[in-house]
Amino acid sequence: MSPFDSRRYLIPFRSSLLPQIFCDTLVIGTGVGGLRAAIAAAEHGDVIVLGKEDWRQTNTAWAQGGIAAVTDDADTFASHTQDTLTAGAGLCDEPVVKSVVEAAPRHIRELIEWGMRFDVAEDGNLKLGREGGHHMSRILHSDGDATGRELARTLWTKARATPGVRVFGSCFSLDLITPSDEPGAPVMGAITHHPKYGLQVIWAKATILASGGAGMVYRETTNPKTATGDGVAMAYRAGAAIADMAFMQFHPTTLYLAGAARALITEAVRGQGALLLDRDGYRFMPEVHPLAELAPRDVVSRAIVRRLAQHGGTHVFLDARAIPHFAAQFPGIAAVLKQFDLDASKDLIPVHPAAHYLVGGVVTDACGRTNLPGLYAVGEVTCTGLHGANRLASNSLLEGLVFGEIAGRVCRERTQFGKDNGHAPAVAPINGWRLPPRPAPVPLVSNIPPSTRGELDLGDVMSSLRSAMWRNCGIERTGGKLADLTEMIEFWGRYTLDKVFDDVQGWQAQNMLLVAWLMARGAAWRRESRGCHWRDDFMNSEAAFRVHDHWKRGDTAPTLAPVVELARAGA
């Protein structure tokens, strides 16, 4: 058995001996999906929102790109839908795409009503930008390159002002609680850790997972340090289905300077006319794709690494010198560049791809339900079928808004059990949720025996893991490298998962190893190239792999789910 399937909980605990908190809905995550879900869920019960760190340290708040939405008469839902399907390379579930695209304008209006500031054109209308993979200008931004920060501020302010919403900051979720290890056992909350209050059990009638992505499993990433894949890991341990983990999207343009963090250079810069040049000053993208610099992100990322392999160098350059008033259009990026004595109006910007967005994740239906009763999931932690094999630029914030609202509303089917709401959960609440379930869920202490193996330095393991993922499960992959990577991860897992840690660093390390293993396993299984998954040894897309690969704890092979298409008239 793999070391990643032998472990149910990260720590042994007895719920009856820990502080216990009760709520109707527990939301894990303070990004766009979590906050929007909390606002909706508060309409039918009390809500607790767990934030791993400050809400500003989320992928949402760090997002420079905008929100894709059809808000102009020249644009159409059909065009936005087709661009999404094209980027998704045959793996998008079309009904989901259509519903999200058509819901976008309503959510934009709602955000404006809640006080979000969008950039406005000279004629007073919303200013619309264009990004990679879009054939129309339909991207809404705030302050040029600070859309995520403004969106997060708006939702945070709204959530904190919503009656019934409590926010627990600096609270780490270790595991989802189930009454047994049986397949399909319901989720009844989570065990958490707070630096002041220690371990706590939070019981909830509905739990919404909105914990974000996993970019930190890669050496090069645009993500904040909080993006360690905790949600995918805890859902997998609880028995949730995980899908399409081969698909990690790499952003083509991040600042590449020695000693500098891999700061994102938003796609909107290329949308305003910036060009990609190699070290000889040659513009290479027009010969790669008809959309040139605005091709889908996987195309641009591969083109960059291939150019470097063929012509040398450690990075290419982004030429934004022709963009008028760059600092006014992109003040955040201009401020970062200034720290390194770079001026985009005069200097070329050194850039290189970096891990950016986890396309796969916890499987949900069109309402955010997972295969576990009581567990819902929204945002980057999920696999909803919207993104397929490659996310279209600026669809992720939109996804969080749409699915956050839906899941927060739909989970009423559990919080209002016994009332005339037209829905019934798979299992009834226990004891009216005034007392913990009896018997209280207690992980088997015997499944975490005292370790007899040697010690490994966690810092070394994490550094080695991130480098190995970058080299072997990065922009271009081969079966041999993926096999070696899986062996390495399982080796580290045997010496790490048998330990019981008492701090966030240790728990994150265990989660990152598990998520990396799921990625490597999915990439090895998918013997084709599709979207942001590229195999040098299987360079074509294959019809047999036009499926979602679902993995559950203990599986040695995936369950295959067909791609859902819309019924066509006359078909």
Q: Tell how far CA 76 is from the center of its chain.
A: 27
Answer left, alpha or beta for residue 531, where phi above 0 means left and psi between -120 and 50 means alpha.
left
**Alpha-carbon gap, residue 136 to 465, rounded angstroms:** 40
Residue with tokens 């054109």: 121
Partnered with residue 533 across adjacent β-strands are: 530
Whether omega for the bond prior to residue 439 falls within 30 degrees of 0, making it cis, is yes
439 burial (CB, 10 Å; 0-12 / 13-18 / 19+) is exposed
Q: How many CB atoms lie within 10 A of CB 427?
A: 15
The span from the CA of 319 to the CA of 346, in Å, is: 9
Among 237, 297, 412, 553, the active-site one is 297
Q: Measured in whole angstroms, how far is the alpha carbon of residue 402 from the centre of its chain? A: 15
Q: What is the DSSP letter of 31?
A: S
Inter-residue contact 515 to 232 (CB < 8 Å): yes
**Known catalytic membership, residue 297:** yes
Q: Which residue has the tokens 């819309």?
A: 566
Question: Residue 197 has which token pair?
Answer: 């209050």
393, two tokens: 């630029």
CB 526 within 8 A of CB 248: no
The catalytic site residues sit at 297
